[in-house]
Amino acid sequence: MLGLSYPDSMATPAERPPSVDKLARSLANSGLPHPLLVDIAREAIAAGDPASVSHRVDELQRSLLQPVLNATGVLLHTNLGRAPWASTDAGSYRNLELDLATGDRGSRQAHAPKLLAKACGAEAAIVVNNCASAVMLVLAGLAKGRGVAVSRGELVEIGGGFRVPEVMEQSGANLIEVGTTNRTRRADFANAVENADHDVALAMQVHQSNYKIVGFTEAPTTAELSDLGVPLVADIGSGLLDEACPWLTTGPPPWLKNEPAARQTLDAGADLVVFSGDKLLGGPQAGIIAGDADLVAKCARHPLARALRPGGLVLASLQQLAMAYLRRDGDAIPFWRMASVPVDELKARAEAIKAAATKGHAATVVDTMAVPGGGTLPGVEFASAGLAFAGNHREAFRSSAMPVIARVVDETTIVDLRTVDPSADEALVSAIDSAIE
């Protein structure tokens, strides 16, 4: 809170409201631009409550995009921007579409996408602004006016109400549903491809992302669909590059079991894979299309490619990320660094934070369970640790100088350290002291 107060010198009779300009200037130490302070002053005066300006300033500041501490234990928290990645480039011009060797115009798809293709074993890649865009561009570029065979069990709805059938409709492709919700076989795809009335241009596999079908189920593998006579596109969703996780010295964590990876999906026979940049890839929001060079080029030539292209900031950020993968430097990728910290280290940090906080006596070091989040690996949990405080303190933590987003379980506030970088521990100590009565 700013601690601003309505100056006594401005206490005027009801018939004489204070000067808007004078009231706005009294808020100058808030750090907000003067035009915003003028708006706040006018709103407070119009409401007949000039003394409310301090509260209104706080409300506006809290509504702005700002850093927060994710203490939920959800690594890819959609409401908090999913993967915690930031470019370290200083502000400058870039050779975004300039070939430095020739001086001629170049392509923005000639930098980061090539590195991402190398990292996942693809012939080529392009980048668009999210995974839904990637799916739409592939369908529009390769199957407009023609059929795309998809299992009924994979006609998913992702966050925000976006559904695969609706994305397909917008692309101009025709959905050909095959199999049943719980059981689909290779023969179902083959029958659709062989049916001349369907005019199937693509077969498509879609990551189920945020749900699972269990029990009496069956689904064809990528390898089984690789020889249907039409290109196979695999939407692997979350963006794991390689199931071997060569960027981690400890190898792949057990909780990644059965998660599809770009390299292995391409090796199994998929012609293209599409995936997100801000999930298991660990970078900024983006959609990546990787695989067969001719198919990638055809997508890149489609008019939608320009409408869906990312800006230089995203591409520069992805380039840094791809370099980290190629160096096999998992510690340089915050998501993987957080995901792979041993529980004993988290407990040691929890004890240190408890000792450093004035209100540490109210905290209990506890075992917790973290989740990948972001529609990735539904139902999967893995061990974590943090601090517990009796009562519901979520609002108080959110109101601290550095907002802390915690979770409440059975009227106990849990601060999970799996998703808090150690560099933020000092800020967390301050938040505990301000939030806990």
HSE-CB of 198 using CA atoms within 13 angstroms: 21
Mean pLDDT of 303-317: 95
Tell me, yes or no, whether 124 and 182 share the same domain: yes
Q: Answer yes or no: is 193 within a domain.
A: yes
Tell me, yes or no, whether 352 and 293 share the same domain: no
Mean pLDDT of 320-328: 97
Question: Is residue 313 scored above 70 in pLDDT?
Answer: yes
Tell me, yes or no, whether 419 and 370 share the same domain: yes
H/E run at residue 136: helix 131-143
DSSP state of 342: -
**280 contact partners, CB below 8 Å, separation of at least 6:** 76, 238, 239, 240, 259, 335, 372, 376
Q: Answer yes or no: is 89 within a domain.
A: no
Report the CATH number that the domain containing residue 348 is assigned in CATH.
3.90.1150.180
Q: Answer yes or no: is 92 within a domain.
A: no
Of the pLDDT bands very low, low, confident and very high (cuts 50, 70, 90), residue 158 is low
- pLDDT value for 128: 97
The two tokens of residue 259 are 């998660």
Pairing of the two strands 272-276 and 287-291: antiparallel
Helices (H), 162-292: 164-171, 186-194, 262-267
Query: Residue 373: beta bridge partners?
Result: 76, 376
**Lowest-pLDDT range, 111-125, 154-168, 338-352, 365-379?**
154-168
For the purposes of burial, counting CB atoms within 10 Å of the CB of 333, is it exposed (0-12), middle (13-18) or buried (19 or more)? Answer: buried
**Lowest-pLDDT range, 152-156, 232-236, 248-252, 322-326?**
152-156
Domain boundary among 329, 357, 373: 329
Tell me, yes or no, whether 232 and 345 share the same domain: no
CA distances to 210, 260, 277, 422 from 346, in Å? 27, 29, 27, 9
**409 contact partners, CB below 8 Å, separation of at least 6:** none
Tell me, yes or no, whether 125 and 252 share the same domain: yes
The two tokens of residue 183 are 């059981």
Instruction: Return the amino acid letter for 400.
Output: S
Tens digits of residue pLDDT in 20-33 = 999 999 999 999 99
CA dihedral 139, 167, 85, 82 (to 10 degrees): -150
Q: 292 lies in which domain range?
A: 108-329
Question: Is residue 9 scored above 50 in pLDDT?
Answer: no
Number of structural domains found in the chain: 3
Question: Is residue 15 scored above 70 in pLDDT?
Answer: no
